[in-house]
């Protein structure tokens, strides 16, 4: 994929990997559309992009609100903007046991991490096809490939993304639609701080393993390189990615390791 002169839409652009990827893409793109529900952080990202001489459109967007997602997509497309790449980073995690997590929390996580992501993809896909193709990327996780303690709904939402977007790719490869699924391991973002506990409140702290992860800037370089190569799965992180191989080739070892995770 040649990023030069393209228009990209990035969700979750106020912070973390979404912001870092936005800044990395601004080195090549003609125009960026950035969205997030964090007004202040979104403004800071937009200002940084503008300083690089790139046209940027920023919009407040809550991925839990399907109607707002559809309305914004309709508005952007009505302005004659052609989306070359849709890269979705917005999401929410959890830190709670299955037995103590109310179903409303599971639904909330699925609404943001799965249905919101799907809604935006569905809203943009027809125009991409009409324009001769495009690229989509969605953010899964290591635990989108296997289950993990204290992440049941989060893990389920990421598993669901694999099934949906692999299907989307299979249906639309003939339409020149490229799909990449990002599989981050430990990256220094605020996702654990904003994860919800059993009461639906913010967890409020960064996991030790995550604090030792790679920076968002390094993650962004890995992601953009993978997008440029149109990889179907883009692994992001360091040594922890070895867990993917352990789960695949040594499942008994994975199950043993998973039971030894310390309580949150």
pLDDT at position 262 is 79
CA angle at 26 for the pair 138 and 21, rounded to the nearest 5°: 30
d(CA 162, CA 164): 6
3-state secondary structure of 73: helix
pLDDT at position 208 is 87
> Would you say 20 and 219 are in contact if contact means Cβ atoms under 8 Å apart?
yes
**What average pLDDT does the segment 110-119 reach?**
98
Strands 177-184, 233-236: pairing is: parallel
3-state secondary structure of 111: helix
Residue 141 has pLDDT above 80, yes or no: yes
Q: Which residues of 73-106 are buried (b: 16+ CB within 10 A; e: fewer)?
A: beebeeeeeebbbbbbbbbbbbbbeeeebeeebb
Strand order in the sheet with 233-236: 55-60, 31-36, 7-11, 85-88, 134-139, 177-184, 233-236
Query: What residues are labeled active site?
Result: 154
Q: In whole numbers, what is the pLDDT of the chain averaged over residues?
A: 96
Residue 9 has pLDDT above 90, yes or no: yes
pLDDT digits (tens, 9 = 90+) for 34-62: 999 999 999 999 999 999 999 999 999 99
pLDDT digits (tens, 9 = 90+) for 149-187: 999 999 999 999 999 999 999 999 999 999 999 999 999
Give every CB contact of residue 25 below 8 A, 6+ residues apart in sequence.
3, 8, 10, 32, 87, 224
pLDDT above 90 as % of the chain: 95
pLDDT at position 1 is 87
Domains of the chain in start order, with CATH, are 7-239 (3.40.50.720)
pLDDT digits (tens, 9 = 90+) for 175-230: 999 999 999 999 999 999 999 999 999 999 988 888 899 999 999 999 999 999 99
pLDDT at position 264 is 65
pLDDT at position 263 is 66
CA distances from 202 to 61, 190, 191 (A): 20, 11, 10
d(CA 47, CA 115): 30
């Amino acid at each position: 994929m040649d990023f030069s002169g393209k228009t990209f839409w990035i969700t979750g652009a106020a912070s973390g990997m979404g912001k870092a990827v936005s800044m990395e893409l601004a080195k090549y793109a003609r125009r960026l559309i950035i969205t997030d529900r964090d007004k202040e952080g979104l403004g800071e990202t937009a200002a940084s992009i503008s300083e690089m001489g790139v046209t940027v459109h920023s919009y407040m967007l809550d991925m839990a609100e399907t109607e707002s997602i559809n309305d914004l997509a309709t508005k952007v497309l009505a302005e004659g903007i052609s989306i070359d790449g849709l890269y979705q980073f917005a999401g929410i995690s959890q830190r709670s046991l299955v037995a103590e997590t109310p179903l409303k929390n599971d639904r909330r996580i699925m609404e943001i991490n799965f249905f919101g992501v799907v809604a935006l993809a569905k809203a943009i896909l027809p125009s991409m096809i009409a324009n001769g193709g495009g690229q989509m990327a969605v953010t899964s996780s290591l635990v989108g490939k296997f289950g993990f303690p204290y992440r049941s709904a989060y893990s389920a939402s990421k598993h669901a993304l694999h099934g949906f977007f692999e299907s989307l790719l299979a249906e639309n490869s003939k339409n020149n639609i490229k799909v990449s699924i990002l599989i981050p391991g430990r990256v220094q973002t605020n996702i654990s701080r904003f994860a919800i506990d059993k009461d639906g409140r913010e967890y409020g702290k960064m996991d030790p393993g995550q604090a030792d992860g790679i920076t968002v800037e390094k993650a962004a370089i890995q992601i953009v390189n993978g997008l440029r190569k149109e990889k179907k799965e883009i692994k992001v992180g360091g040594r922890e990615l070895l867990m993917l191989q352990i789960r695949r080739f040594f499942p008994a070892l994975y199950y043993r390791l998973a039971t030894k995770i310390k309580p949150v």
